[in-house]
Amino acid sequence: MALELVTGNHAAGYALSVAGEANRSARGAACGIYPITPQTEIVEYVAKFPFTKGRVVPVESEHSAMGVSIGASLAGARAFTASSSNGLAYMTENIMVAGFYRLPIVMVAVNRTLGPPWNIWADQGDTLMLRDFPWIQFYCEDNQDVLDTTLLAFRLAEDHRILLPALVAMDAFIISHTQMETQCPEQEQVDRFLPLLDLPHRMRQEHPTTMGGLVWPLEGMSQRLEIHEAMARVPEVYEECREAFRGEFERDVGGMIETFGTDDADLVVITSGTIASTARDVVRRRRQRGERIGYIKIRLYRPFPEAAIVEHCRTATKLAVLDRNYAAGQGGIFWQDIRAAFQGRRDDLLIQDYLTGLCGGDVTPVMIDAVIDDLGGRREAGSPMWMGIDAAVEAT
């Protein structure tokens, strides 16, 4: 294990590559790749990796990048790719297909604002538009998180109780292009951590089947139910993978959510991605001043860790949800999931949405202080607050 100073993209490219290489004594690794700012360095890393048994296909579009990875996965190889923003939008049809074919493809996505207008900075709207597909989704906070979660994602996705693709997201530039000290495991460790891929439904000449033909409503609905049941098994299998990860790499990849100060909190700040680092610092500082404030970072977003979040908000009366994303005509997307989680359980809870850092804006400690102050003074929830435009001015 080497401690290296690398960017988030480098960490992701490294994790995808060593995971692919770890399948060399089975059916190998193959994938389609296509560049888009700010994830390009990931696919460049993969393209130059000297796979023992692998092929990286530089294709003509994101749609085909996922198409090649689907074909490779159907043939039993370990498959992966990376994309971002409008590239994910263009890839969407095949992203959906990878899920419905139950292919354990791992994709690293760098969260970048969807356009137009043209904007390359961080916003989670791109991966969250994929939230209703059969994909596991993780949101990472730093470079180590990206590397570790990507490795773990393969083991989780390929587990026969799961067999779902997994997406590992990181904020554009704040992670993708920022160097941090990152523990990069040796190939032998990854070989030990990742079992060889054995896809039970891979295409076989000796057992011809037709995949994706016509089904009747009952079979179609049964397939959805099977996906739902596999999603429901994710928390249990995740914890097993986390334990195996700890055993091999001697560090904790983290839970589905990360919490701080929630044991006695009146007010809990809930967020994800890089905003979590700032929020944790603000909460820690205010707790030192005696304020009963807690913090929750959502790492696993799909399946949504509803039970864990509800459990950690048991003492709270107010929740601030910080969303670096926006669903038109509705508000923050995490906010909607949080409200749904508490509906009928804690109808007394005041859940307020704060749109922070949309389209790549900085989310500063001052802004998070303003959020906490605003929520502290509220008697009822309102429509989402557009922090950094008018809300911050009013709140401070």
Choosing from 13, 35, 67, 357, the residue that interacts with another protein (CB under 8 A) is 67
Establish if 32 lies at the interface with another protein (CB under 8 A): yes
Of the two residues 32 and 357, which places its CB atom closer to another protein in the complex? 32
Q: Which stretch binds another protein (CB under 8 A): 5-13, 209-217, 271-279, 345-353?
A: 209-217
AA identity, residue 167: L
Establish if 64 lies at the interface with another protein (CB under 8 A): yes
Establish if 53 lies at the interface with another protein (CB under 8 A): yes
Establish if 250 lies at the interface with another protein (CB under 8 A): no
For residues 169 and 111, the answer to whether their CB atoms sit within 8 Å is yes
Establish if 152 lies at the interface with another protein (CB under 8 A): no
State the number of binding residues for another protein (CB under 8 A). 45
Q: Which stretch binds another protein (CB under 8 A): 8-16, 40-48, 213-221, 318-326?
A: 213-221
Choose among 33, 120, 22, 47: nearest CA to 80.
33
Of the two residues 72 and 136, which places its CB atom closer to another protein in the complex? 72
CB of 78 to another protein, least distance (A): 10
CB of 17 to another protein, least distance (A): 16
DSSP sequence for 10-42: HHHHHHHHHHHHTTTTTT-EEEEE---TTTHHH
CA atoms of 9 and 308, how far apart (whole Å): 30
CB of 154 to another protein, least distance (A): 17
| Distances in whole angstroms, Cα of residue 234 to Cα of each of 50, 139, 172, 302 | 32, 16, 27, 9
CB of 155 to another protein, least distance (A): 20
Of the two residues 210 and 383, which places its CB atom closer to another protein in the complex? 210
Establish if 285 lies at the interface with another protein (CB under 8 A): no
Residue 134 CA, distance from chain mean position:
13
For residues 147 and 5, the answer to whether their CB atoms sit within 8 Å is no
Establish if 82 lies at the interface with another protein (CB under 8 A): no
- Residue 359, sorted as left (phi over 0), alpha (psi -120 to 50) or beta, turns out to be left
CA atoms of 306 and 257, how far apart (whole Å): 10
The sign of the CA dihedral 275, 85, 14, 242 is positive
SS3 167: strand
Q: Which residues bind another protein (CB under 8 A)?
A: 27-28, 30-32, 53-55, 57, 59-61, 63-77, 79, 93-94, 97, 203-205, 207-216, 219
